[in-house]
Amino acid sequence: MANHIPSRPDGFDTEEDLQSHLASLEESASLDHLDLPQEKDPDRRTIKDVQNDIAFVRDELAQIRDRLAAIATQAENAVRFRAQWADASAHAQLGDYPWLKLAGTMAGAFFATRLLRRLPLGPLITASVPLAAAAIQQRISK
């Protein structure tokens, strides 16, 4: 089977026929963008319909962006006011330099815990139980 490459497409006898056909296709293609009356096919959408849909979607996106911007601003304000409230509350409870005082209290608790872990609490508790029992018995007998 030999490879046969036609010199011109089937259906056109001469080069002029082909060129006239291509020219008519170009004419019809250039007229497609005009709003010419067409057959009303309910399933067929026009360019105008698509452009209207695109405009509608763009409007919806603009509204959503506006809503998101408003929500972001509200969230930012809520966080800022919450931080201001926490700072004011700390100042009201601890006075000046509340965060420094809080850090000092935390450091003190840490070192107190380390000190208590090193104490021999077993013998201290063993020695204090009889003393506590005697004190309770004295209160009951009064």
In a domain? residue 120: yes
pLDDT along the chain (142 residues), means of 10: 48 76 73 55 81 94 95 95 91 84 93 88 85 90 81
What is the C-alpha separation between 23 and 16, in angstroms, rounded? 10
Instruction: Note whether 68 and 54 are same-domain residues.
Output: yes
In a domain? residue 7: no
In a domain? residue 2: no
In a domain? residue 106: yes
Instruction: Note whether 88 and 102 are same-domain residues.
Output: no
What is the domain count for the chain? Answer: 2
Query: Which residue segment(s) compose the domain that 116 sits in?
Result: 96-128
Answer whether 71's CB lies under 8 Å from 63's CB.
no
What is the C-alpha separation between 79 and 81, in angstroms, rounded? 6
Q: What is the pLDDT of residue 97?
A: 84
Instruction: Note whether 57 and 81 are same-domain residues.
Output: yes
In a domain? residue 24: no
Instruction: Note whether 109 and 122 are same-domain residues.
Output: yes
In a domain? residue 67: yes
Q: What is the pLDDT of residue 80?
A: 95
Q: What is the pLDDT of residue 30?
A: 60
Instruction: Note whether 85 and 53 are same-domain residues.
Output: yes
In a domain? residue 77: yes
In a domain? residue 66: yes
Instruction: Note whether 72 and 105 are same-domain residues.
Output: no
What is the C-alpha separation between 109 and 107, in angstroms, rounded? 5
The model's pTM is 0.39
Answer whether 87's CB lies under 8 Å from 79's CB.
no
Instruction: Note whether 101 and 83 are same-domain residues.
Output: no
